[in-house]
Every structure is written in structure tokens, then in C-alpha cells.
């Protein structure tokens, strides 16, 4: 599609799209002439993500954090997870660019190094389910989301007498919730054709993730509000 069609597909003006191009937030376009280029679905998806990050859907975030989230997304991290991690104080920032590979395929020792904690603590987090490895070519692999989570847990461990074993039930409860919700998704889409079922499951995933956030915010009070 041409720029005019990209503007129509995303609802963004040409000036905004050019701005994000200059900032390096969009994939390279296919040049067809000196002053002409062709864009594809990947550009529409990226612009929709940027709009969500700049607005209230996932943000609002400034350009620096949008860039960091985009790098994490390019490394395989779900947008919602990246946005949540980078919205917190002291959040992890990928060291390299989106194409550098710095945020992909990290080892557990690299997670420990980047999070500023010991390897033995990282191993405890993995055993407790507080870190969740992805399968990278037959061996556990980690990314920036795992570094961010390790830093968050390290901060919790530094508060009072909290230990990894104290947080283990949190991971167990989340895992149980995930098992139930996966079963719910499968049950609700069992009679649909594969394409429709896949689309429905993705929509349910987004809705359930938003519901988690709502319930936590509404049921957990800030310490000074708890009385």
C-alpha cells in the first residue's frame, strides 16, 4: 500500500508516520522510486502498537519508552508485558537496538547480571516459577521481560524479610489461573472453525489480561490507603 492508504488504514496523518520513521520506530519500507515507497501489514501493526503506547490503551508513554517497548516486542515479548514492565520505576531497558539481538536469547547468568542479582537467586526464581523461560533451540532462553521481572522480584526481596519462598505461592496461583483460562478459551472456541477460534482466543486473551489489571487495581490498596 502507498502512504495515502497507510494513513487511511491507521488513521494517522502523514506527518506523524514520517516522524515515527525518522525516529526509527517503523520497519523499513520497500522503496519503489526516489520519493515513493510501499508499506505492508507490518507497518499497520507497528503504527497501531505505537498509537496504543502513546495513548491510554497501553500508555501513555514518551518516545523513549515507546522505543524500548518496541525493542522488547521485536525480541518476542508481548506488548502488554513490555508496557507493564517499562511503566515501573527502575524498569529494565534493552541495551541494544531492535536488530542488535541484545534482548534475545539471554542465558540465566546474563539475566542475573543485567538484573543485578546473583545467579543462585535467579535459579531460585526459576525453580519457584517466578521466572518463566522460553524454549530457545532446545534449551531455556530468556529476554528483557525476564530481566525486568528479576529486577522487580529483587526489589521485593530487599523489602523487610521477604524471601523467594514467600513469593512462590503467587506464581502457583497465577499458573493455576492460566490453566483455568486456557481451558475456558478452548471450551468456548471448541465448535468454531480454526481461523475464527484463533481470533476469538486472541480477543479473550486481551480481555482477560485487562480484567486481571482491573481486579488487582481495585482489590489491592496502596499502603497509605489500607488504613
Q: What is the pLDDT of residues 167-201, one digit of tens each?
A: 999 999 999 999 999 999 999 999 999 999 988 98
- Please report how many Cα atoms fall inside a 13 Å half-sphere around the Cα of residue 71, on the Cβ side: 26
Q: Strand, helix or coil at 103?
A: coil
Q: pLDDT tens for residues 86-126?
A: 765 445 454 444 333 344 578 899 989 988 899 999 999 99
| pLDDT (0 to 100) of residue 32 | 77
8 A C-beta contact, residue 170 and residue 118: no
In whole angstroms, give the CA distance from residue 157 to residue 160: 7
Angle at 114 between CA 64 and CA 24, to 5 degrees: 25
In whole angstroms, give the CA distance from residue 210 to residue 27: 28
Q: For residue 97, what is its C-alpha cell?
A: 537496538
Q: pLDDT tens for residues 7-51?
A: 999 999 989 998 998 888 888 888 777 777 888 889 999 999 999
Amino acid at each position: 500500500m502507498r502512504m495515502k492508504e497507510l494513513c487511511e488504514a491507521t488513521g494517522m496523518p502523514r506527518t506523524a508516520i514520517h516522524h515515527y520513521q525518522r525516529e526509527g520506530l517503523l520497519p523499513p519500507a520497500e522503496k519503489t522510486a526516489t520519493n515513493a515507497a510501499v508499506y505492508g501489514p507490518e507497518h499497520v501493526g507497528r503504527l497501531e502498537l505505537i498509537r496504543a503506547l502513546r495513548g491510554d490503551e497501553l500508555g501513555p508513554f514518551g518516545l523513549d519508552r515507546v522505543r524500548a517497548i518496541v525493542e522488547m516486542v521485536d525480541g518476542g515479548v508481548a506488548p502488554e508485558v513490555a508496557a507493564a514492565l517499562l511503566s515501573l520505576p527502575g524498569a529494565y531497558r534493552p541495551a541494544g537496538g531492535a536488530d542488535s539481538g541484545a534482548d534475545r536469547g539471554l542465558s540465566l547468568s546474563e539475566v542475573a547480571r543485567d538484573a543485578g542479582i546473583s545467579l543462585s537467586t535467579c535459579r531460585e526464581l526459576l525453580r519457584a516459577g517466578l521466572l518463566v523461560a522460553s524454549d530457545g533451540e532446545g534449551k531455556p532462553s530468556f529476554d528483557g521481560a525476564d530481566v525486568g521481572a528479576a529486577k522487580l522480584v529483587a526489589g521485593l526481596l530487599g523489602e523487610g524479610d521477604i524471601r523467594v519462598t514467600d513469593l512462590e505461592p503467587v506464581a502457583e496461583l497465577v499458573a493455576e489461573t492460566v490453566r483455568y483460562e486456557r481451558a475456558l478459551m478452548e471450551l468456548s472456541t471448541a465448535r468454531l472453525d480454526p481461523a475464527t477460534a484463533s481470533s476469538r482466543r486472541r480477543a479473550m486473551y486481551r480481555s482477560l489480561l485487562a480484567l486481571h489489571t482491573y481486579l488487582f487495581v481495585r482489590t489491592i490498596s496502596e499502603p497509605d490507603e489500607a488504613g
